[in-house]
Amino acid sequence: MEESALHLLELGAVFFVLGLLGRLAGRIGLSPIPLYLVGGLAFGNGGIVPLGGIEEFTTLAGEVGVVLLLLLLGLEYSAAELVTGLKRSWTAGLLDIVLNAAPGVAVALVLGWGPVGALVLGGVTYISSSGIIAKVLGDLGRLGNRETPVVLSILVFEDLVMAVYLPILTAVLIGVSLVGGLTAVGVSVAVLAVVLLVALRYGRYVSALVDSPDREVFLLKVLGLALLVAGFAQAMQVSAAVGAFLLGIAISGSTAENATKLLEPLRDLFAAVFFVVFGLNTDPSTIPAMLGWAVVLAVSTTVTKIATGWWAARRQGIGPLGRARAGAALVARGEFSIVIAGLAVSYAAVDDRLAALATTYVLLMAVIGPVAARVVEPVARRVLSPARRPAVAPTAGT
């Protein structure tokens, strides 16, 4: 059989199986991310059906998937919303960093992975999955709830933290000097400030640049500009993902809405490939040894995220039931955690077991998060409602 024909068969099989896994995830009410990771484990080295020859395509497609994930995330926010969210949530955001990065840092140090491993695993356990959380809130009809702005403001703060964290992580992974690392951070902060300024004052011009009544032209301009910005950001040692996110912020109004509708199918396709690629690069035989640590992280960071949401909602005067919903909504981890771990693995700067631990952890949290969001309300009502006292029968003569 010709090599090109074999590659087409392999790609066709991968995409078709991903479609089946996505349908299964929809039927059971879960995010498809954990099933995509499992699919990658099945197709990778040491898996059930190892595939070869498509690595070059899937690797590039995975990078495009990250760009599209962050671009569409940026399209969800306006610059004004980011600034407002930052003002509203900075104290809760700082608590979020401390509580949720600490378990990852501690486990990495206990396992002997050093400061670099601690920096990576702390990021993996810190960042919530905006994609999963947004979908769950929509599915449960909670987008209009009073606590939802609190949840979204924390997610916005986390996204801004990633704009600083990813350049730092990249600098550390490639082994640049302290001066080089500080330069990368300075560039990232400067770019973020410039983009916010441009988006606030001149966002209509950026939107006009990419807008077009022709869907084909619109798609080519938006996607082309996103890849150009991402490539330029990466050349400047600022994460390509952050570059795409900042571009999404700069595009606003109806242009952002139209771009979201147009790019969503592409995002879903390439993002699925990204999760598969991460699974392909993880040896399934290393997962059992990391399962115990993944459970420890899953339990501890579920508690810390619930505590973060509870405290943040309480500061906004929201009642106990809303606080519980806010905390449970933040539990899910997903795309960003895999982006961080994948970045570390690609530079071969961390212990090989970190990929297995990150995969297992995200598998658990991508399931626990939606389940926690669904069950928290009935559980909280039962726990928070006053105990029903049995009625006392009247005694004779009273």
Per the domain annotation, does 288 fall within a domain? yes
Rounded CA gap, 139 and 338, in Å?
A: 24
Report yes or no: 237 and 1 within 8 Å, Cβ to Cβ: no
Report which residue type is found at 166: L
Per the domain annotation, does 395 fall within a domain? no
Per the domain annotation, does 119 fall within a domain? yes
Q: What tens-digit pLDDT sequence spans the chain (398 residues)?
A: 566 787 788 778 888 888 888 888 888 877 787 788 777 777 766 556 666 666 677 778 878 887 887 788 778 777 676 677 667 778 998 999 999 999 999 999 999 998 889 999 999 999 998 767 877 777 777 867 888 888 878 887 887 788 778 777 877 887 766 566 667 667 767 766 776 677 667 777 888 888 888 989 999 999 998 898 888 777 765 667 667 877 887 887 888 888 888 888 888 888 788 777 777 767 777 788 889 999 999 999 999 999 999 999 998 889 999 999 999 999 988 777 888 888 787 776 677 788 889 888 988 888 888 888 888 888 888 887 764 444 444 444 43
Per the domain annotation, does 388 fall within a domain? no
How confident is the model at residue 396, as a pLDDT? 43
Report which residue type is found at 175: G
Per the domain annotation, does 398 fall within a domain? no
Handedness of CA 78, 64, 356, 115 (dihedral sign): negative
Report yes or no: 180 and 236 within 8 Å, Cβ to Cβ: no
CATH number at residue 271: 1.20.1530.20
Per the domain annotation, does 245 fall within a domain? yes
Structural domains of the chain, count: 1
CB neighbourhood size of 374 (10 A): 14
Per the domain annotation, does 114 fall within a domain? yes
Per the domain annotation, does 366 fall within a domain? yes
Q: With b meaning 16 or more CB within 10 Å and e meaning fewer, what string describes 153-164?
A: bbbbbbbbbbbe
Domain containing 289 equals 12-383
At 236, is the secondary structure helix, strand, or coil? coil
Q: What is the pTM of this model?
A: 0.72
Report which residue type is found at 335: E
